[in-house]
């Protein structure tokens, strides 16, 4: 049986509409293919192979090995395999393209980045098909602020998997542009999960693949723009210091894929996005593990166990349509096993709120704080008034958080172990 209580404000975003707040998925997560070529191929010649171990070796010229530091100073494509227990890969090639093909590597650096492109005209990481790769940094301050760092534009492609653990700052960072075309990427970060650092210049573009981020800072942080054209993107950020799930100084476009973003708040997708997004601003901090269900009269769109304590959630899916009433429930129940927090279906739950997408017509947030939990400062609040959600009868002052008493989810975000 479902019960009802109003606890969230919701807006609808779309190509020709304003802001939508909510979420939805189908029974299976679809990986978007918008703007993705049939295959991604190397544009550089294969130079040689680097075998990582306590005594690393290489068949390539232009590579120097000094204890745990392997330096590449010639352009081209390099295949890497093996384990480096305390070392780093440095790419220092002025004006040339460099591609690193990771084919089962495990690189740990206690004093800095696992892989750093400090000079190159462009940088590419290719995840060899079927491979599983690990990059881990230490917790000490260093020259490069990410486990995988590039001073130039960085592209990630290939049909393998990479697990990135950053104990000091970002997971993946570039001073220029970051493009993710395919691959499965898990990131645990002490600060931002993804970071493009150059103001009004950096562009982060996600065309496909699966990206799972658990960050103490922002999930995805671009000092320029962010565009998601396809793939599955789940990003969860800490409420500490008001971290954001999606944070961009410029425009955010969501044109395809499945997107879940959790945090204290989020930068809002532009109304020029070609795919609609739901943005749920909760009245309070919703605890980690709470199962959120989003339904229409036709289908269950999403059942998701929150990966972290959350105050705002963005969801985008090709399933979201105009003129449809969506209901958002909490404390839903399921006996299934989750895939990165997503379940196929659920039953029961308490109705937080509902929204008909055609009725959401204002993209601005009203001033004032939201009740319960941490305040939002001067920009967070529900939209009351003509054409918006109506304040529930008899409500005055701050709204109180629900009595949770929920059972924990069966499974949280899945980060593979070595």
Domain count, the chain: 1
Q: Within the chain, which residues score under 70 in pLDDT?
A: 1-45, 139-142, 356-418
Q: Looking at residue 45, what is its pLDDT?
A: 66
Distances (CA, A) of 258 to 28, 31, 222, 276: 10, 7, 19, 11
pTM: 0.80
Query: Quick check: is 363 in a domain?
Result: yes
Sign of CA dihedral 69, 74, 75, 77: negative
Q: Looking at residue 149, what is its pLDDT?
A: 96
Query: Quick check: is 413 in a domain?
Result: no
Domain ranges, residue 22: 1-34+271-393
The helix (run of H) or strand (run of E) holding residue 276 is none
Q: Looking at residue 14, what is its pLDDT?
A: 47
| Rg (alpha carbons) of the chain, rounded to whole number | 22
Query: Quick check: is 326 in a domain?
Result: yes
Q: Looking at residue 390, what is its pLDDT?
A: 33
CB 215 within 8 A of CB 191: yes
CB 156 within 8 A of CB 177: no
CB atoms under 10 Å from CB of 342, counted, come to: 21
Q: Which two tokens stand for residue 250?
A: 């410029």
The helix (run of H) or strand (run of E) holding residue 16 is none
Task: Report the first-to-last Cα separation within the chain, whole angstroms.
Answer: 42
Query: Quick check: is 292 in a domain?
Result: yes
Distance CA 135, CA 147 (A): 7
Closest CA to 234 of 340, 345, 343: 340
Query: Quick check: is 325 in a domain?
Result: yes
Query: Quick check: is 303 in a domain?
Result: yes
Query: Quick check: is 4 in a domain?
Result: yes
Q: Looking at residue 417, what is its pLDDT?
A: 56
Length of the chain: 418
CB 359 within 8 A of CB 326: no
Query: Quick check: is 381 in a domain?
Result: yes
Q: Which two tokens stand for residue 13?
A: 């975003």
CB 250 within 8 A of CB 225: yes
């Amino acid at each position: 049986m479902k019960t009802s209580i109003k606890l969230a404000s919701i807006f609808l975003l779309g190509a020709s509409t304003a802001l939508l707040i909510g979420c939805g998925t189908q029974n299976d997560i679809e990986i978007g293919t918008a703007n993705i070529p049939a295959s991604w191929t190397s544009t550089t010649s294969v130079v040689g192979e680097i075998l990582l171990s306590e005594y690393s070796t290489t068949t390539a010229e232009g590579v120097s090995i000094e204890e745990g530091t392997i330096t590449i100073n010639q352009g081209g494509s390099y295949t890497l395999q093996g384990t480096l227990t305390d070392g780093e890969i440095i790419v220092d090639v002025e004006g040339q393209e460099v591609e690193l093909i990771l084919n089962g590597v495990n690189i740990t650096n206690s004093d800095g980045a696992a892989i750093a492109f400090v000079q190159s005209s462009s940088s590419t990481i290719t995840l060899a098909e079927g491979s599983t790769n690990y990059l881990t940094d230490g917790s000490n301050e260093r020259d490069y602020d990410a486990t995988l760092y590039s001073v130039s534009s960085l592209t990630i492609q290939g049909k393998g998997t990479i697990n990135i653990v950053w104990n000091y700052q970002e997971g993946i960072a570039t001073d220029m542009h970051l493009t993710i075309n395919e691959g499965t990427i898990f990131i645990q970060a002490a600060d931002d999960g993804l970071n493009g650092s150059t103001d009004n210049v950096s562009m982060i573009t996600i065309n496909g693949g699966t990206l799972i981020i658990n960050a103490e800072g922002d999930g995805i942080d671009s000092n320029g723009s962010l565009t998601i054209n396809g793939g599955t993107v789940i990003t969860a950020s800490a409420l500490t210091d008001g971290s954001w799930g999606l944070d961009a100084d410029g425009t955010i476009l969501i044109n395809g894929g499945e997107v879940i973003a959790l945090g204290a708040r989020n930068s809002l997708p532009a109304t020029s996005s070609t795919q609609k997004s739901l943005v749920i601003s909760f009245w309070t901090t919703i605890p980690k593990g709470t199962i959120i269900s989003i339904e229409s009269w036709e289908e269950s769109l999403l059942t998701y166990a929150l990966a972290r304590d959350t105050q705002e959630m963005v969801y985008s899916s090709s399933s979201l349509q105009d003129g449809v009433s969506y209901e958002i429930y909490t404390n839903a129940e399921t006996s299934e096993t989750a895939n990165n927090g997503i379940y196929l279906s659920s039953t029961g739950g308490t109705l937080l709120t509902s929204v008909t997408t055609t009725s959401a017509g204002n993209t601005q947030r009203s001033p004032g704080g939201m009740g319960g939990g941490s305040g939002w400062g001067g920009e967070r609040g529900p939209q009351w008034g003509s054409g918006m959600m109506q304040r529930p009868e008899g409500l005055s002052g701050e709204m109180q958080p629900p009595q949770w008493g929920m059972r924990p989810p069966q499974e949280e975000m899945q980060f593979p172990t070595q």
